[in-house]
Amino acid sequence: MARTSRIARLSIAAAAGAVILAGSVSSYAAEPTDQAAAGGWVYFGADNGSTGCELFRTNGSTTELVKDIITGTEPGYPAQPAALGSKVVFGASDGVHGKEPWVSDGTDAGTFMLKDVRLGSGWSNAGGFYTWQGKTYFRANDGSHGRELWVTNGTPGGTKLVKDILPGSAGSEPAFFAGMGNKVYFAANKDLWVSDGTTAGTKKVKDLNSKGTWGITGLGKKIVFTASAKGKGRELWVSTGTKKGTKLLKDIRKGSKGSDPEQGARVGKKVVFSAYDKSHGRELWVTNGTKKGTKLLKDLKKGKKSANAGVFSAAGSKAYFVADGGSNVYTVWKTNGTKAGTSKVASFNRGGSYDYPESFATAGAVTYFQAWSGSTLKEQVWRTNGTAAGTTRVTSIPGGVSDCGSN
């Protein structure tokens, strides 16, 4: 059940139908979640006690095993699914090949490996799946190029290396994908890059002389992201997709330490995120892509103490996120991008140090997430309609749900 890709965890210890949360949460720059909604179903990895960690799905009333990728208790390690139409693309291993890109239409026969990127039993560690404009982008290592940018249209023939951004075996480690127009923006080799899915159309947007680029979020004809440029700490940047249009948006915490903005979620014409300033600690912020429109949205924990808002996920006209609610309490919140429209959904007692509500995925009017549900049930799938009464546990899988090893 360990989630090695997470810097910190929130935890749930609650009975089904009663939502009660707690602890201290450190936020992080998000990457793909461990659930995806497609065709009215939510897909995730779980261990029912006899299959090992395999691919399951639920529609809120029916929960079923999609495929036992490796027959028996050996896990197939399905992880980081991304919807591609009515299908999902994810990483998995069948025991003969390493962790490679797979696709599923929800049936046993329709669940198969797309490509053996790293031939034989070696692991390509395919991960970071993100879908935009009918294509799913991801990173993988074919053994010659290091982890580089790949793309798939959901067919074996349409799964290919896009570009060897950092020539050689080291790899540029593409991450934090976000769409704008007909292109995808992402971080690679510490800078901001863009791709239309072709080699020629994949290029660096601007040399930021940065220590890194993180947390990219699309905002209409702009993207906002975090970068650490020379002489400044990690701060919020904006880009229109051009060199000239890529610049520091706001120096929230002046000096070399920076405000360290976390990857947020789009709500209408705004992006909500968390950032740190000396007066409020790490709290909830909002931006419309302009310096003037970038401001503290709500001080969830009054004064200099941090609420550490994180795990942002867009859900229609609102976004969900998780924050430290005080003494041994964590809180799931929702916001529409305004102070008045920011409120608690549910609170939970702490169940463990590193298990917290995460992997939010929205199907229609309902949002699903994974949360700790006690020492017996471990982590399970929950659902919410944005109210405390409408937040209930969906699954009771004996071995619990799991990220099955994220990349």
pLDDT of residue 176: 95
Instruction: Work out the percent of the chain whose per-residue pLDDT is above 70.
Output: 89
Res 119: pLDDT: 95
- Per-residue pLDDT tens digits for 136-178: 999 999 999 999 999 999 999 999 999 999 999 999 999 999 9
The token pair at 327 is 């003494």
Bridge partners (DSSP) of residue 285 are 273, 296
DSSP 318-341: EEEEEEEEETTEEEEEEESSSSTT
For residue 407, pLDDT beyond 70: no
Q: E strands within 142-234? A: 147-152, 160-163, 175-180, 183-188, 191-195, 203-206, 213-219, 222-227
Lowest-pLDDT choice from 10-19, 58-67, 216-225: 10-19
d(CA 219, CA 402): 31
Q: Structural domain boundaries of the chain? A: 1-28+303-407
- Please tell me which residue, 208 or 289, carries the higher pLDDT value: 289
Contact 161, 152 (CB under 8 A): no
**More confidently predicted of 373 and 129:** 129
Residue 4 has pLDDT above 60, yes or no: no
Q: What pLDDT score does 331 carry?
A: 86
pLDDT greater than 80 at residue 13: no
- Is the pTM value of this prediction over 0.85? yes
* pLDDT confidence of residue 354: 53
Q: What is the pLDDT of residue 3?
A: 36
- Residue 368 pLDDT > 80: yes
pLDDT in tens, 152-162: 999 999 999 99
- Among residues 87, 201, 205, which one has the least CA distance to residue 149? 201
pLDDT in tens, 311-327: 999 999 999 999 987 76
Which single residue is written with the structure tokens 């401001």?
295
Structure tokens at 221: 């004809």
Cα torsion angle, 293, 298, 301, 302, sign: positive
User: Among residues 391, 336, 382, which one has the least CA distance to residue 359?
Assistant: 382
End-to-end CA distance of the chain: 15
Q: How far apart are CA 171 and CA 396, in angstroms?
A: 40
pLDDT in tens, 69-95: 999 999 999 999 999 999 999 999 999
At residue 329, the pLDDT reads 73
Task: Please report where in the chains the tokens 């793909």 appear, as a residue.
Answer: 32
> Rg of the chain over CA atoms, in angstroms?
20
Q: Tell the residue number behind the tokens 């790490």, with chain if given.
A: 282
